[in-house]
Each structure stands twice: as structure tokens, then as C-alpha cells.
Amino acid sequence: MAERKPTSGDATTRAFALRIEPFRESPHMRIIMAATPALGHVIPMLGIARILLSEGHEVVASTASAYQDRVKSVGAEFWPLPESADHDAQAKLPELKTLPPGFEWLRAAMCGLINEIPAQYMGLQQMLQEAPADIVIADDQFFGVLPMLLGARSARPPVVLFGTTILHWHREDGAPNFLGLHPAISQAQHEEYAAITREYDNIVRYPVTRYLDRCLEGVGAGPLSKPLLESVVELTDAYMQLSVPSFEFTHAVPPSVQFVGALPIIPNQAPLPPWADDLDGRRKVILVTQGTLANHDFNLLITPTLAALADEPDLLVVVTTGGRPIEVIPRPIPANARLASYLPFEWILSKADVFVTNGGYGSVNQAMSFGIPLVAAGLTEDKADVNARVAWSGVGVNLATNTPTPVALRNAIRAVLDDAQSYRQHASLIAKEFAAIDTRAEVLRVVGQVAQRLEGVHTHQSRELSLSSWPYFGVNDSIYLDNTQEYKIRS
């Protein structure tokens, strides 16, 4: 399949050109922020919060209590999620760690996020009732904002969302998102994608939509006219995509979407490791991580990468476990490996020659902003689509598997180091695109414009809600089609 090769100022970049408009500087505002309780969502929230706080705005951030210290460390006020939602994003659906990638995984994950709507919504209403805010900012999967977005515009403050994954908007070729499918370039591919879409709709879209509509009805909102993830992009007052246009498949996007680049890395989040001086430039540095979410089994990527490069004396393999103890990495550890639970990302990215990743959206974009070519292998969560973009944009190799072999990894890493396909050149081009965006200024512009445009439109109206009748979709539940052709929840 032919890969798209980005060039500076090409048609795709122009199609996604940022809509720059002048605006007067906003007075200091009270801002409520909210994030799905997972590091890949909390860290971007904190990055945006730091920008807003530096301008003198007041920020109250709501997420799980486990992240309270992180919130306070940037200077924001912490507000815990309601008790029923005050947990890790996957805590109530542990089977997501064992389900294979595919339709069933996507359906379970979507329903798990939908379950949090009433508690998240109640939490936001309580915050707004106690201390009305000028604007609400949340991540793209904090679906507790949906009842607000579906209600009367005058009954809510402005809402801005930030995208922590691929831009989940409908594709021109009709293919579903999150399956790792490149844009169709032939009639045969269009026909293949049409068949995949029919299966996806039956297994994922239709049952999830039925369940979502039922859940929204329980809080007096809905139904949606578009699929869930497309709706949050379209309904919000502004949608900040934390990437650049060249990393997105070519398609028209709604006017809410603004590409704001990669957020500045929060500095000094971890100390330098004791082996920092080993990165002295004499050996190429291969950085490998499984991120902070799909890191329950290091045999998926870290272990085979260590095995792949164990006998490569010209390479230094740096492993970060995303917070897990380094002792859980299977032994033996090769002599050319260096391990850390966390690393200061701004430091290690300045040293890395290749980034080996399972495809976490945030870390991939940060690596690209540094001009680092990638080797990607991962299929869970959003990773199939993130990694498809790695190959399509020319910045690296996508092994398109969740279980790469050491041989495949070694060959891919050597191919990137040898730059046979100009991976570094493409990575450099996309890094220039990141550098051309002043992310701090763009965040302030988007927030300021929305606040000014909608100033005085809303008067907050609080609502009494109850969770007593909420149809929770738990680890022992499933959505099934019964003989009346109705989607139901089975415990």
C-alpha cells in the first residue's frame, strides 16, 4: 500500500490550516477542568492548566483522587470526582486487560466510558452550583459533558474539549475509526471497508448507541444524531486537537476543530537516572516504552525489544516502565539496557535516535515534535489507528501487531536507523510543523475566543440527579441482541 509522504505546505496541511482570528485579551477567568482518570488524559489536562494558570486564570481541576497531588503540583485547585467515578478509568472493567483487540474490546471500552456519564455530570453540576465558572474544559472522553452540550445553550457555560487521541471524525472512505485502516485508495479497498463497517456497526456502533441513548435519557438528555465520538467533536464550542494536520488522514473537519500542536512537557516530573552519563553520544539511543495504560504485560513490547537488541553493542536501549517497578521486567536484562520507572521526558527525547512504542497518542506526538522516527507495535485502545498514522505519514514503521517478535523489531529498528525510507526526513518535516505552532498562544487564543464569543449567554441551572436507577454495565455484564431485536444489558 502506498504511504502518504507529507511535505511542507502540502494540500493536507493547507486544508487543516488553523483559523487564526484576532481577539482581545480575556480578563482573568474561573475555569473548571475535568479529565478521565488515566494518565494519558490527566497529563494533557495539567499541561493546559499550567498555560491558563500562567495567565492568572483560576483553575479547578476534577479527576480521580489518585491524581490529587499532580493537580496541586501545577497550582490548580483539586476537586475529586463523585465517589462512584473516583477510580482508575479501567478499574470497573478489568477484562479490558485480557480481551484481545477488536470489536468486543471496543464495545466494552465504550460502554465503560458511558457508565461514568451520570456521576461525571453530577460532579460538574455540583462544581458549577458551588462556584460558577466562565468556561469548562475537558478531555474528549469525559462524556459527562454530553448532557450539558445537548441541553439549552443558555443553561451552561462555554465548553472546550481537548483531543487525547486521533481525531475521531467520520472518514471519507466510510471506514470505522480505531481499526488501523489506511485511507482506501482502490475500489477493492472501498468494498472491503464497507463490509468491515457493516460488521462494526452490528457489533459496536448499534448496541453502544442504544445503550448510550438509554443512559442519556436517564439524565434527561439525548438522543445523539451522530455516533458518540463524532458528537463530542461537533457539539463542543471548540475542540483542541493536540497534534498537527499532517498526522491526520485527509478529510474535512467541523469548524470546532483547532490543531494546537503538542503541549509543552511539564518539566522535572522525574529525576535524572543514575546512569544518565551513559548517554554520551557514543552509541545510538533506542527509547522503548509501553506507556502508562497498556503496560500490564511487558512481554508484549519491552521484553522482545530488549531481546532484539541484546547483541547490538552500538546501541543503548533505554526502557521506561510508565510508573511500574523496574523489577517486574522479566530477566535477564542485557548489558546494553538502562531501566527506569519514570524519566524526564524532555531530557530523554533530546537524546533518543529511535522511539519504540506501542502507540500512545501523547508520547507519539511528543516524539514527532522532537523529530524522532518511530517503530510502533500495538493494537489496543486507540493504538491501531495511531500506529497506522505513523506508517502513513512516513515517520516510522508500523509492525501492525500487539505481539512483535524480536526479529521483526530488530529489522524495523535497523531500517529506521539506516533511514532506508527517509523516516528521519519525514520526522523532521513533521517536527517543523509542530514548531510552527505556538501551542501556548493557540490554547489561550481558543479559550479566549470561546469565552468572549459566548460571554453572557448562559445562566447556570442546577439539576437534581439520582444514580439509584442507573443501568451500570459492569465486568459481568454484556450487551446482547435478544429475539425481539432489542439491545439489552445482561448480568
**C-alpha 471: how far from chain center:** 27
**C-alpha 177: how far from chain center:** 13
Amino acid identity, residue 285? V
Whose CA is closest to 43, among 121, 139, 141, 144? 139
Q: What is the DSSP string of 354-379?
A: EEEES--HHHHHHHHHTT--EEE---
Query: Average of pLDDT values for 169-194?
Result: 95
- In this structure, what C-alpha cell is assigned to residue 309? 537488541
- In this structure, what C-alpha cell is assigned to residue 47? 499541561
Whether 462 has a pLDDT exceeding 70, the answer reads: no
Whether 438 has a pLDDT exceeding 80, the answer reads: yes
Of the chain, the percentage scoring pLDDT greater than 70 comes to 85
d(CA 317, CA 111): 38
Asked if 481 contacts 53 with a C-beta cutoff of 8 angstroms, the reply is no
Query: Average of pLDDT values for 105-114?
Result: 92
- In this structure, what C-alpha cell is assigned to residue 220? 434527561
- 184-197 pLDDT per residue, tens: 999 999 999 999 99
Whether 9 has a pLDDT exceeding 70, the answer reads: no
Of the chain, the percentage scoring pLDDT greater than 90 comes to 72
Strands 487-490 and 478-481: antiparallel
Whether 95 has a pLDDT exceeding 80, the answer reads: no
Amino acid identity, residue 384? A
Q: Is the peptide bond before 183 cis (omega within 30 degrees of 0)?
A: no
d(CA 438, CA 131): 32
Residue predicted with more confidence, 291 or 153: 153
**What pTM did the predictor assign?**
0.87
